[in-house]
Structure 1
Amino acid sequence: MGRGVNPAELAARLRAVDGVVAVALGGSRARGAHRPDSDWDLGLYYRGELDVPGLHAVAASVADTEAELTALGGWGPWVDGGGWLTVGGVAVDWIYRDLDRVQRVWADCRAGRYEVGVQAGHPLGFYSHAYAGEVALCQVLADPTGELAALRDETQAYPPALADALVRGGWEAGFLLSGARKGVPAGDSAYVAGCLFRVVGVLVQVLHARAGRWLVNEKGMVASAGRLPGAPPDFAHRAQALLGGVGRAPAELNTTLDAARRLCAEVLG
Structure 2
Amino acid sequence: MSTHLTEAANQLRWWLRLPPTNLIDRGDHVRFRYALYLMIHQVATVLYGMNGLPETMHYPSRLEGARNRLNSLSRAPAHAGDTLWTLATERDPAKAWAAAAGLMRDTLSLLNESSSDHDALDREFQEGSFKPDQYRDPVELYALAAEIAERIRLLDGTSAVALGGSLGRGYADRQSDIDLLVFGQGIPGEDDRHRAISAWPAVTCGPLIEPACDSVVLDGAMVHIRYWTRQTVEDMLATIPGPPMPPGQRILAEELQNCQLLVDQDGRIKVWKEVLRCLPDALVKAVIREVRDRRPRFHEQWRKAQDADDRIHLYCLAIQAVNDLLIALYMRNGRFLSTPRWTHKDIGVFDTLPADLVTCLARLVDGIIDGEDMEARWTVLEGLWDTSESL
Q: If the length of structure 1 is used for normalisation, what is the TM-score?
A: 0.82
Deviations 1:3-27 (A, max 9, x none): 9x75434322211211322111111
- Residue 285 (structure 2) aligned to one of 164, 178, 196: 164
AA in 1 matched with 2:236: V
| Structure 1 letter corresponding to 2:196 | V
Bigger shift: residues 192-201 or 149-158: 149-158
Deviates more, 1:19-28 or 1:47-56: 47-56
* 8 Å Cα contact 1:136/1:156 also seen in 2: yes
Aligned mates of 1:238, 1:47 — CA distance in 2: 44
Distance 2:144 2:386 in 1: 49
The answer on whether the counterparts of 2:161 and 2:262 sit within 8 Å (CA) in structure 1 is yes
Single out whichever of 179-188 and 8-17 deviates more from structure 2: 8-17
The alignment partner of 2:377 has SS state of helix
Shift of residue 238, structure 1, vs aligned partner: 0.7
SS of the aligned residue for 2:302 comes to helix
Deviates most, 212-221 or 100-109:
212-221
- 2:327–2:338 contact (8 Å) kept in structure 1: no
Secondary structure (helix, strand or coil) at the match of 1:176 reads: helix
Does 1:187 find its partner at 2:309?
yes
2:218 alignment partner AA: V
* Secondary structure at the counterpart of residue 180 of structure 2: strand
Distance 1:192 1:227 in 2: 31
Q: Residue 139 of structure 1 corresponds to which residue in structure 2?
A: 260
What SS does structure 2 have at the residue aligned with 1:70?
strand
Q: Which residue of 1 aligns with 2:160?
A: 22
Structure with the bigger RCO (C-alpha within 8 Å, sep 6+) is: 2
Deviation digits for residues 16-60 of structure 1 (CA, Å, limit 9, x no counterpart): 211322111111111211112201111111323523222222212
- Residues 173 and 63 of structure 1: is their aligned pair in 2 closer, same or farther, counting only changes over 3 Å? farther
Q: CA RMSD in A?
A: 2.5
Tell me if the contact between 1:27 and 1:138 (Cα under 8 Å) persists in the aligned partners: yes
Q: Which residue of 2 aligns with 1:252?
A: 373
Q: Which residue of 2 aligns with 1:239?
A: 361
Specify whether residues 153 and 226 from structure 1 end up closer, same or farther in structure 2 by C-alpha distance, changes over 3 A only.
Answer: closer
Q: State the AA in 1 paired with 2:294.
A: E
* Residue 68, structure 1, aligned to residue 204, structure 2: no
CA contact (8 A) 1:47 1:100 kept: yes
Q: Which has the higher helix share?
A: 2
8 Å contact kept, 2:287–2:328: yes
Alignment TM-score, normalising by the size of structure 2: 0.58
Corresponding residue for 1:107? 238
Structure 1 stretches of at least 4 aligned residues deviating more than 6 Å after TM superposition: none
The alignment-based identity, stated in percent, is 24
Residues 190 and 6 (structure 1), Cα distance of their counterparts in 2 relative to 1, 3 Å cut: closer
1:51 has 2:189 as partner: yes
Change (3 A) 1:259 1:47: same
- From 87, 92, 97, give the equivalent of 2:218: 87
Q: Residues 255 and 133 of structure 1: is their aligned pair in 2 closer, same or farther, counting only changes over 3 Å?
A: closer
1:44 corresponds to which letter in structure 2?
V
- The match for 2:172 is 34
- The one-letter amino acid of 1:172's match is R
- Deviates further, 23-32 or 48-57: 48-57
CA deviation vs aligned residue, 1:202-225 (integer Å, no higher than 9, x gap): 111111111112335322336534
For residues 259 and 14 of structure 1, what CA distance do their matches in structure 2 show? 47
For residues 20 and 7 of structure 1, the distance between their equivalents in structure 2, rounded to whole angstroms, comes to: 16
Shift in alpha-carbon separation, 1:263–1:136, aligned structure 2, 3 A: closer
TM-superposed deviation, 1:244? 1.0
User: Contact 2:323–2:339 (CA<8 Å) still a contact in 1?
Assistant: no
User: Where in structure 2 are there 5+ consecutive unaligned residues?
Assistant: 1-138
- What SS does the aligned partner of 2:380 have? helix
Counterpart secondary structure, 2:237: helix
Specify every segment of 5 or more residues in structure 1 that has no aligned partner in the other structure, as ranges: 73-80, 117-125
**Within 1, Cα distance between the matches of 2:370 and 2:308?**
9
Question: Secondary structure at the residue paired with 1:21?
Answer: strand
Q: Deviations over 1:203-259 (max 9, x none)?
A: 11111111112335322336534652222110121122022153444x622332333
Tell me if the contact between 2:186 and 2:230 (Cα under 8 Å) persists in the aligned partners: no
